[in-house]
């Protein structure tokens, strides 16, 4: 139960979220306190229980990221979501239990290598005199918060992450250790983020022809020892050492695969619409 209720943040409509209902959805049985232990436990439980997925985009619905709709979808109907839905929900819960949080719209990859627009939403929390990165909406991302204020390894199961010291441009890179090399997942930006920024990013991500999320289903769930990833019709299991196994999923088995591998339930009609939207190898390149 919530032990320290906080004043709702009207800017982000957090009053729409019931922390106890959310905790039940993700299987969190501990207290809901504004401390690092609770923040970490909620982060870990969310990533374990709720898959990253863009199926509403493939169904032509264009996700409504208003919190009442997000709560109904993820908490009550037990679906997954992508970064705006997942991290807005997560931040709202933290806000409600009294954790000082900021929503931050950042860039995927490294802008010094290939500049991309600010299109990924993360959560930054201030606890125990430090800044912590929370991200339950990346798919192939951390299971637990990562400290931002100093460059140190953050081992999480078989995966290892770090947040770099600021580069020459003043931004920090969030990196994962892959095959002995640090690879940048995304870049933290100090600019303020407002609800209108997130709304515009969601609109572009869910409708732009250049967005990867409109081209094929993307469903991801990462655990301590492996990651399951469904891209189009290809189901892949990836391990921290870089090894992987993959298989193609027939259209008739698609709904069952979503249920068995990701605990996602689609109706028969929804599954047909999703598979009908997946390009075949003979179609244009996926990009």
Q: Where are the beta strands (DSSP E) in the chain?
A: 52-53, 101-108, 118-127, 130-134, 146-147, 154-156, 159-163, 172-178, 181-188, 218-222, 227-231, 234-238, 244-248
Residue 6 lies inside a defined structural domain of this protein: no
Residue % of the chain over a pLDDT of 70: 94
Q: Are 144 and 44 in contact (CB under 8 A)?
A: yes
Mean pLDDT over each residue of the chain, to the nearest integer: 92
With respect to residue 168, please indicate whether it lies within any of the assigned structural domains.
no
pLDDT value of position 5: 44
Residue 10's pLDDT band (boundaries 50, 70, 90)?
low
Strand partners, 282: none
High-pLDDT (> 90) share of the chain, %: 84
Say if residue 3's pLDDT is above 60.
Answer: no
Average the pLDDT over 139-168 and give the result: 92
What average pLDDT score do residues 70-97 get? 98
Total domains in the chain come to 1
201 pLDDT higher than 50 = yes
pLDDT over 90 (residue 4): no
Q: What is the pLDDT of residues 233-268, one digit of tens each?
A: 999 999 999 899 999 999 999 999 999 999 999 988
Please indicate, yes or no, if residue 243 is contained in any of the structural domains. Answer: yes
* 268 inside domain: yes
pTM of the model: 0.93
Better-predicted residue by pLDDT, 146 or 170: 146
**Cα 251 to chain center, whole Å?**
26
Residue 215: inside a domain, yes or no? Answer: yes
Q: Which domain holds residue 237?
A: 209-276
Question: Residue 287: pLDDT band by 50, 70, 90 thresholds?
Answer: very low
pLDDT band at 142 (very low <50, low <70, confident <90, very high): very high
At residue 282 the predicted structure's pLDDT band, cuts being 50, 70 and 90, is: low
| 281 confidence band (pLDDT: 50, 70, 90) | low
Helices of type H across the chain: 19-26, 36-49, 55-58, 67-70, 83-97, 195-207, 254-262, 268-276
In a domain, 227, yes or no: yes
Residue 223 in any domain: the answer is yes
Backbone angles phi, psi at 183, to 5 degrees: -120, 135
Whether 269 is covered by a domain: the verdict is: yes
CATH number at residue 241: 3.30.2140.10
Question: How many CA atoms does the CB half-sphere of 54 hold within 13 Å?
Answer: 23
């Amino acid at each position: 139960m919530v032990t320290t209720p906080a004043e709702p943040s009207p800017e982000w409509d957090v009053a729409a979220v019931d922390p106890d209902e959310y905790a039940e959805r993700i299987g969190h049985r501990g207290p809901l306190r504004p401390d690092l232990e609770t923040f970490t436990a909620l982060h870990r439980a969310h990533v374990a229980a709720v898959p990253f997925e863009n199926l509403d985009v493939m169904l032509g619905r264009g996700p409504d990221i208003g919190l009442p709709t997000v709560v109904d979808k993820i908490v009550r109907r037990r679906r997954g979501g992508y970064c705006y839905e997942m991290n807005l929900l997560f931040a709202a819960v933290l806000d409600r239990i009294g954790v000082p949080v900021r929503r931050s719209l950042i860039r995927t990859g490294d802008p010094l290598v290939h500049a991309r627009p600010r299109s990924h939403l993360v959560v930054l929390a201030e606890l125990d005199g430090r800044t912590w990165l929370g991200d339950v909406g990346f798919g192939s991302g951390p299971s637990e918060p990562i400290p931002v204020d100093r460059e140190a390894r953050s081992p999480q199961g078989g995966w290892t992450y770090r947040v770099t010291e600021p580069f020459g441009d003043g931004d920090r890179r969030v990196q994962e250790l892959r095959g002995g090399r640090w690879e940048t997942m995304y870049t933290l930006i100090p600019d303020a983020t407002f609800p209108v920024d997130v709304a515009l990013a969601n609109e572009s991500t869910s409708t732009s022809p250049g967005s990867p999320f409109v081209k094929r289903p993307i469903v991801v769930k990462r655990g301590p020892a492996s990651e399951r990833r469904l891209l189009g019709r290809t189901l892949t299991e990836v391990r921290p050492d870089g090894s992987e196994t993959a298989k193609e999923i027939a259209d008739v088995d698609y709904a069952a695969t979503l249920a068995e591998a990701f605990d996602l339930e689609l109706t028969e009609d929804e599954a047909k619409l999703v598979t009908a939207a997946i390009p075949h190898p003979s179609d244009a390149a996926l990009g």
